[in-house]
């Protein structure tokens, strides 16, 4: 019995060592459960351009895909290119696992303001921006009117709080949906408020942490106040669960991205408004990008770079943004006449781009997330003053920069 | 002595019912969740403002006219590799059990019967392995498996599984083997049998209950810990066991909870059946610990 | 006591015996060496480096005791350790008690015993991950069964998310851990109870002893070896229990359910800080080792005083 085991064992090792000679292959990982049609079209075009080259495009669910790309690269088996959240770029760059990309000046000029900040570190660009989102506030008019108020956009935090309180007191629903679970979108939600209050996390040029500021403390206090008119137990919810609550008519409003309209039930009459402004700033929003990174030392680095560039340039990118329903990543109106984002709905997501802030680029982005989320949970669970929590978070962030 | 009063009977049955309710509660809930369409999955009983939830409201969560077995049909489409995952789970557990037993049985026999140099030390060392979970050793194991080119194969999940089950198996089987009276072996020796022959023809048949118990325990252990090794050492979808495959129900925007629950329940069915079939032997094996003279 | 099991061991220390014994053990030992010992050594070695994402395959620098200083001196370390021990004692204690209750119930002379016994097993058989998903569902504040139930009964007047608050998250995790561990403990206790010779009970019954008395003075002492060994095994597994906490809370609101193993995983795998993670792993092994040593020593002392045989004589 054991002899058979040994033989099998040796056979497996032997098979692993004999590398089969194949046609050139470019291995690509796409985060998200599927490969978008627009991307697939580019891939096919690429394959016909380079005969003998096949693209192995693998779709991996978000829960595991970033880790997968990163561990493969760390173990010396990198894929050619991967489409992932831009927040991973700094760590990959600093660890020497990806190579800087060259984006033509012309294309650089096309991007919406602030986009390039999300992929730049140390003066170099590390990924091709490939998907973009901004956020806005979705409000359930049915609940607002039931609470006895007019369904108009609240312009300030005070207005938003009053509307939420009215809903909370006069209907069986909670006023606002607040996410506080240790998830990335909890941090994102907070940053939306922060950027609408003139706050910031770090200074991209100097690398200094600017998180510990009066604006941030104000923002955190506001979040604490919101918890009083939010659904019960915010620490147990992240954004997709808030969507469920919203659909069930249990919360009056919450922050979501442009895909929100598609997620909400048809029977909910809603309006979409810009994030209300805090006392110390203007209405802003959070700019998040996903980008395509090219890994160092993969089998066909040049081909991977070329494919990455093709996937994210001009027309191809437009097709993707439009078909997927994303906030336009470039100012396409400079390039073509008939763009898809001229409706009122889209205005809410496109207009604030100029005054929005980026998702901060941190090497240890888990520390960024942990620090901010800890502060949020702290104020909700009543474990300290806003000032103390912000200071504590700033310390954690400083370690992760 | 074995007769109970009526009151005692009620006490026993009701305590047992509570105990079993506790054990089965999550499965009941999972089953109900799997019957609901996605849109109704996350609703709580409707309680108007200012009122409290009534019993009828509470019961409404168990039944809705939209219930159906649709999820059980859809799940095969959403995750087309589901049958493969179920097969993989059973296959991996069986493989791990088989290989573990190959290593465990001789070792347990040695510890049960002989006194030899380095016995206590090695036994304690084996037990010490139990002291850390696989989670602690993941990184070096990853490197090791990579060097041997075993990543992304069935072996990637079998080998760590075997390694971590062996110590427990040796300990368990040892205590069973110790209960087999030595006189039987002595009688065989007197008749001129070799050690190996004794092991095969005399001890093994008597050890069958113990072997079954340990085998089942190993199988269940293997089945339970597949998840960690699978997600760390294996990226190939074809080899994924069920718990890892369940994660595929988590899509980009939504989690298809009802199908996920349905898939979980269906997925564990084979193992439950195997267990139901074996449980008589299992209990018999455990309770036959006292070998009567 | 002719029913007591005689355990005889050959006292032969002859060379052939030793050789033969080691030949039998060798395969198992080799597998362990290959899969466990080397990674253990490597973990130990890594704990002294600053290995991270970029240096996984080589190039990490040795930084001496720095990782250890940072880990042990960290603000949160004492509370994590305390929490881990509290978690372990509470969970194991509950498992033992429930296991005894369950085993006694299942050992009693009732109808359809086999069915009941089978019904108690599922939490053990089912993959931990899947069982945890079920509990995740149950603990939800909005649509979870438990939250809805206590609201209806009037204990609360609104939804209650068990996993959103530090205290309730911790105890919820304990409940799930107990749920997973109880069937196996019950099974083993049941076997032990059934191994107690019947004449002991009969003698006591004839003398007029009550059920409770029989349980306390006969059953418990007789199955004490099983209780003791299950307790130690269970303690070790509970200490290292990872999946349950991870799936339910990932360490809990503000670290409320972060035990040592969760902290280790978060550092090593989640944050890609392999060196620092290895340090914590080593600390886990050390702490558990010390604990086991204390446990076994205390056991030995008790053994000598009261004659409970937790270890084979």
SS (H, E, C) chain B: CCCCCHHHHHHHHHHHHHHHHHHHHHHHHHHHHHHCCHHHCCCCCCCCCCCCCCHHHHHHCCCCCCCCCHHHHHHHHHCCCHHHHHHHHHHHHHHHHHHHHHHHHHHHHHHHHCCCCCHHHHHHHHHHHCCCCHHHHHHHHHHHHHHCCCCCCHHHHHHHHHHHHHHHHHHHHHHHHCCCCHHHHHHHHHCCCCHHHHHHHHHHHHHHHHHHHHHHHHHHHHHHHHHHHHHHHCCCHHHCCHHHHHHHHECCCCECHHHHHHHHHHHHHHHHHHHHHHHHHHHHHHHCCCCCC
Whole-number pLDDT of residue B285: 63
Q: Which residue's structure tokens are 């939250």?
A: C147
Q: Residue C218: is its pLDDT beyond 60? A: yes
> A209, exposed or middle or buried, with CB in 10 Å at 0-12, 13-18, 19+?
buried
Whole-number pLDDT of residue C157: 75
Q: What residue of B is the nearest CA neighbor of C57?
A: B143
Whole-number pLDDT of residue C9: 42
Q: What residue of A is the nearest CA neighbor of B44?
A: A248
pTM of whole model > 0.80? yes
- What's the rounded Cα separation, in Å, for the pair A311 and C172? 47
Contacts of C among chains (3+ CB pairs under 8 A): A, B
Give domain status of residue C53, yes or no: no
Nearest to A252 by CA among A317, A321, A178: A178
**What confidence category does residue B253 fall into, taking pLDDT thresholds of 50, 70 and 90?**
low
In chain B, residues 225-284 whose CB comes closer than 8 Å to chain C: 225-228, 242-243, 246, 257, 260-261, 264, 267-268, 271-272, 275-276, 279-280, 282-283
The alpha-carbon gap from C75 to the nearest alpha carbon of chain B, in Å, equals: 22
Whole-number pLDDT of residue C312: 35
Q: Residue B229: is its pLDDT beyond 90? A: no
Question: Is C11 an 8 Å CB contact of chain B?
Answer: yes
Q: Which of A210-219, B48-57, C103-112 has the highest mean pLDDT?
A: A210-219
Task: Please name the residues in contact with A62: beta carbons below 8 A apart, sequence gap of 6 or more.
Answer: A31, A32, A33, B250, B252
Give domain status of residue C188, yes or no: yes
Give domain status of residue C263, yes or no: yes
> C302, exposed or middle or buried, with CB in 10 Å at 0-12, 13-18, 19+?
middle
Q: Residue A224: is its pLDDT beyond 90? A: yes
Question: Is A6 an 8 Å CB contact of chain C?
Answer: no
Q: Residue A9: is its pLDDT beyond 60? A: no
Q: In this prediction, what percent of chain A has a pLDDT beyond 90? A: 31
Give domain status of residue C234, yes or no: yes
Contacts of B among chains (3+ CB pairs under 8 A): A, C
Least confident range from B46-55, B65-74, C84-93: namely B46-55
Higher per-residue pLDDT: A167 or B124: A167
Inter-chain residue contact A383 with C163, CB threshold 8 Å: no
Residue of B8, B15, B21, B23 to mutate for C, most C C-beta atoms under 10 A: B23
Question: Is C14 an 8 Å CB contact of chain B?
Answer: no
**What confidence category does residue C173 fall into, taking pLDDT thresholds of 50, 70 and 90?**
very high
**What confidence category does residue C154 fall into, taking pLDDT thresholds of 50, 70 and 90?**
confident
Inter-chain residue contact B110 with C288, CB threshold 8 Å: no
Whole-number pLDDT of residue A15: 42
Nearest to A363 by CA among A101, A180, A76, A97: A97
Mean pLDDT of B221-229: 80
Whole-number pLDDT of residue A62: 74
Residue pair C166/A381 in contact (Cβ under 8 Å)? The answer is yes
The number of folded domains in chain C is 1
Backbone angles phi, psi at A124, to 5 degrees: -115, 155
Whole-number pLDDT of residue B231: 75
Whole-number pLDDT of residue C10: 46
Mean pLDDT of chain B: 78
What range does the domain containing C282 cover?
67-306
- What's the rounded Cα separation, in Å, for the pair B206 and B204? 5
In chain B, residues 169-188 whose CB comes closer than 8 Å to chain C: 170, 178-179, 181-183
Mean pLDDT of chain C: 82
Question: Is A96 an 8 Å CB contact of chain C?
Answer: yes
Whole-number pLDDT of residue C101: 92
Residue of A7, A29, A61, A169 to mutate for B, most B C-beta atoms under 10 A: A61
Q: Which residue's structure tokens are 């395969």?
A: C27
Question: Is A233 an 8 Å CB contact of chain C?
Answer: yes
Question: Is C293 an 8 Å CB contact of chain B?
Answer: no
Torsion of CA A105, A108, A113, A117, to 10 degrees: -100
DSSP labels for C175-240? HHHHHHHHHHHHHHHHHHHHTS-HHHHHHHHHTT--HHHHIIIIIHHHHHHHHHHHHHHHHHHHHT
- What's the rounded Cα separation, in Å, for the pair A365 and C230? 42
Whole-number pLDDT of residue A12: 47
The alpha-carbon gap from C160 to the nearest alpha carbon of chain A, in Å, equals: 7
Q: In this structure, which long-range contacts are made by residues B4-12, counting pairs with CB atoms below 8 Å and at least 24 apart in sequence?
A: B4/C108, B4/C109, B9/C110, B12/C105, B12/C108, B12/C110
Q: In this prediction, what percent of chain C has a pLDDT beyond 70? A: 92
Count interface pairs A-C at CB distance under 8 A: 77
Give me the CATH number covering residue C86.
1.10.3720.10
Whole-number pLDDT of residue C172: 94
Q: Residue C8: is its pLDDT beyond 60? A: no
Give domain status of residue C91, yes or no: yes
Least confident range from A249-258, B248-257, B272-281, C281-290: namely B248-257
Q: Residue A2: is its pLDDT beyond 70? A: no
Q: Residue C246: is its pLDDT beyond 70? A: yes
Mean pLDDT of C64-83: 86
Q: Which of A224-228, C30-34, C268-272 has the highest mean pLDDT?
A: A224-228
Q: Is A26 helix (H, G, I), strand (E, B) or coil?
A: strand
Whole-number pLDDT of residue B131: 67
In this complex, which of C42, C116, C152 lies closest to B58 when CB atoms are compared? Answer: C152
Q: What residue of C is the nearest CA neighbor of B158?
A: C35
Whole-number pLDDT of residue B47: 65
Whole-number pLDDT of residue C83: 93
**What confidence category does residue C2 fall into, taking pLDDT thresholds of 50, 70 and 90?**
very low
Q: Residue A258: is its pLDDT beyond 80? A: yes
Q: Residue A157: is its pLDDT beyond 90? A: yes
Give domain status of residue C9, yes or no: no
Give domain status of residue C17, yes or no: no
Q: Which residue's structure tokens are 């937790």?
A: C310
Whole-number pLDDT of residue A159: 93
Q: In this prediction, what percent of chain A has a pLDDT beyond 70? A: 94
In chain A, residues 27-56 whose CB comes closer than 8 Å to chain C: none
Q: Residue A222: is its pLDDT beyond 90? A: yes
Give domain status of residue C24, yes or no: no
Q: How crowded is the C-beta side of C13, counted as CA atoms within 13 Å?
A: 4
Q: What tokens appear for B183 in the block?
A: 């006189």
**What confidence category does residue C3 fall into, taking pLDDT thresholds of 50, 70 and 90?**
very low
Q: What residue of A is the nearest CA neighbor of B43?
A: A248
Least confident range from B143-147, B274-278, C27-31, C170-174: namely B274-278
Whole-number pLDDT of residue B262: 84
In this complex, which of C24, C135, C240 lies closest to B106 when CB atoms are compared? Answer: C24
């Amino acid at each position: 019995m054991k002899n058979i085991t040994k033989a099998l064992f040796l056979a497996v090792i032997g098979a692993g060592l004999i590398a089969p000679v194949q046609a050139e292959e470019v291995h690509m990982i796409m985060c998200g459960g599927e490969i978008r049609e627009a991307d697939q079209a580019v891939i096919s075009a690429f394959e016909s351009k380079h005969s003998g080259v096949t693209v192995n495009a693998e779709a991996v669910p978000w829960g595991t895909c970033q880790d997968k790309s990163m561990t493969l690269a760390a173990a010396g088996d990198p894929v050619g290119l991967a489409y992932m959240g831009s927040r991973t770029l700094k760590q990959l760059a600093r660890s020497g696992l990806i190579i800087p990309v060259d984006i033509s000046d012309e294309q650089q000029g096309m991007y919406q303001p602030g986009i390039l900040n999300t992929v730049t570190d140390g003066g170099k660009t590390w990924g091709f921006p490939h998907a973009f989102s901004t956020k806005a506030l979705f409000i359930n008019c049915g609940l607002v009117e039931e609470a006895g108020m007019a369904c108009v956009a609240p312009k300030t935090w005070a207005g938003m709080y009053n509307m939420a309180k009215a809903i909370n007191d006069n209907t069986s629903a909670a006023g606002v949906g607040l996410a506080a679970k240790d998830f990335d979108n909890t941090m994102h939600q907070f940053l939306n408020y922060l950027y609408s209050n003139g706050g910031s996390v770090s200074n991209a040029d100097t690398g200094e942490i600017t998180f510990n500021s009066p604006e941030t403390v104000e923002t955190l206090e506001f979040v604490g106040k919101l918890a009083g008119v939010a659904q019960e137990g915010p620490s147990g919810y992240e954004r997709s669960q808030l969507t469920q609550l919203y659909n069930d008519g249990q919360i009056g409003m919450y922050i979501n991205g442009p895909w929100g309209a598609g997620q909400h039930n048809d029977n909910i009459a809603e309006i979409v408004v810009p994030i209300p402004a805090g006392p110390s700033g203007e209405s802003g929003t959070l700019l998040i990008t996903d980008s395509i990174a090219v890994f160092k030392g993969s089998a066909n680095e040049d081909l991977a770079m070329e494919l990455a560039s093709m996937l994210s340039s001009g027309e191809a990118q437009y097709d993707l943004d439009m078909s997927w329903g994303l906030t336009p990543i470039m100012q396409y109106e400079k390039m073509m006449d008939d763009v898809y984002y001229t409706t009122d709905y889209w205005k809410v997501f496109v207009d604030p781009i100029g005054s929005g802030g980026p998702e901060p680029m941190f090497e240890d982005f888990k520390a960024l997330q942990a620090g901010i989320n800890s502060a949020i949970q702290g104020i909700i669970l009543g474990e300290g003053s806003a000032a103390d929590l912000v200071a504590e978070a700033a310390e954690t962030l400083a370690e992760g920069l | 002595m074995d007769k109970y009063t009526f009151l005692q009977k009620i006490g026993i049955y009701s305590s047992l019912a509570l105990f079993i309710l506790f054990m089965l509660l999550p499965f009941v809930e999972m089953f109900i969740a799997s019957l609901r369409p996605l849109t109704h999955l996350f609703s709580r009983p409707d309680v108007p403002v200012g009122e409290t939830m009534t019993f009828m409201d509470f019961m409404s969560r168990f039944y809705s006219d939209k219930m159906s077995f649709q999820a059980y049909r859809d799940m095969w489409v959403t995750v087309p590799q589901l049958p493969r995952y179920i097969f993989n789970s059973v296959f991996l557990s069986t493989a791990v059990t088989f290989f573990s037993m190959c290593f465990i049985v001789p070792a347990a026999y040695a510890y049960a019967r002989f006194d030899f140099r380095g016995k206590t030390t090695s036994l304690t060392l084996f037990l010490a392995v139990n002291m850390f979970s696989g989670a602690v050793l993941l990184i070096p194991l990853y490197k090791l498996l990579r060097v041997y080119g075993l990543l992304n194969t069935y072996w990637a999940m079998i080998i760590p599984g075997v390694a971590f089950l062996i110590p427990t198996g040796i300990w368990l089987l040892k205590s069973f083997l110790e209960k087999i009276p030595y006189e039987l072996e002595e009688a065989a020796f007197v008749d001129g049998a070799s050690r190996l022959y004794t092991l095969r023809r005399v001890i093994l048949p008597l050890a069958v209950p113990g072997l079954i118990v340990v085998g089942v325990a190993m199988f269940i252990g293997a089945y339970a810990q597949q998840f960690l090794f699978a997600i760390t050492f294996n990226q190939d979808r074809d080899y994924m066991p069920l718990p890892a495959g369940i994660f595929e129900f988590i899509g980009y925007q939504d989690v298809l909870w009802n199908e996920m629950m349905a898939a979980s329940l269906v997925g564990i069915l084979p193992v439950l059946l195997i267990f139901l079939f074996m449980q008589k032997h299992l209990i018999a094996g455990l309770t036959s610990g006292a070998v009567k003279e | 006591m002719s029913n007591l099991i005689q355990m005889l061991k050959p006292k032969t220390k002859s060379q052939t015996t030793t050789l033969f014994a080691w030949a039998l053990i060798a395969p198992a030992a080799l597998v362990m060496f290959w899969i466990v010992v080397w990674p253990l050594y490597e973990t130990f070695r890594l704990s002294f480096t600053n290995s991270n994402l970029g240096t996984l395959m080589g190039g990490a620098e040795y930084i001496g005791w720095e990782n250890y200083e940072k880990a042990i001196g960290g603000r949160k370390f004492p509370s994590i350790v305390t929490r881990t021990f509290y978690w372990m004692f509470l969970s194991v204690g509950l498992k033992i008690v429930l296991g005894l209750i369950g085993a006694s119930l299942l050992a009693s002379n009732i109808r359809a015993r086999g069915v009941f016994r089978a019904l108690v097993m599922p939490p053990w058989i089912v993959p931990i991950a899947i069982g945890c998903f079920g509990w995740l569902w149950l603990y939800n504040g909005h649509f979870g069964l438990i939250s809805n139930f206590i609201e209806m009964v009037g204990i609360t007047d609104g939804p209650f998310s068990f996993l959103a608050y530090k205290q309730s998250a911790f105890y919820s995790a304990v409940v799930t851990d107990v749920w997973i561990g109880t069937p196996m403990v019950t099974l083993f206790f049941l076997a032990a109870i059934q191994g107690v010779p019947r004449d002991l009970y009969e003698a006591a019954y004839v003398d007029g002893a009550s059920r409770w008395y029989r349980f306390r003075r006969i059953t418990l002492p007789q199955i004490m070896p099983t209780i003791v060994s299950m307790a130690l095994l269970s303690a070790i597994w509970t200490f290292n229990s990872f999946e349950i906490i991870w799936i339910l809370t990932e360490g809990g609101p503000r670290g409320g359910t972060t035990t040592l193993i969760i902290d280790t995983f978060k550092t090593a795998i989640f944050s890609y800080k392999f060196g620092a993670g290895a340090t914590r792993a080593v600390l886990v092994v050390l702490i558990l080792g010390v604990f086991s040593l204390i446990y076994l020593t205390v056991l030995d002392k008790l053994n000598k005083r009261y004659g409970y045989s937790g270890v084979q004589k």
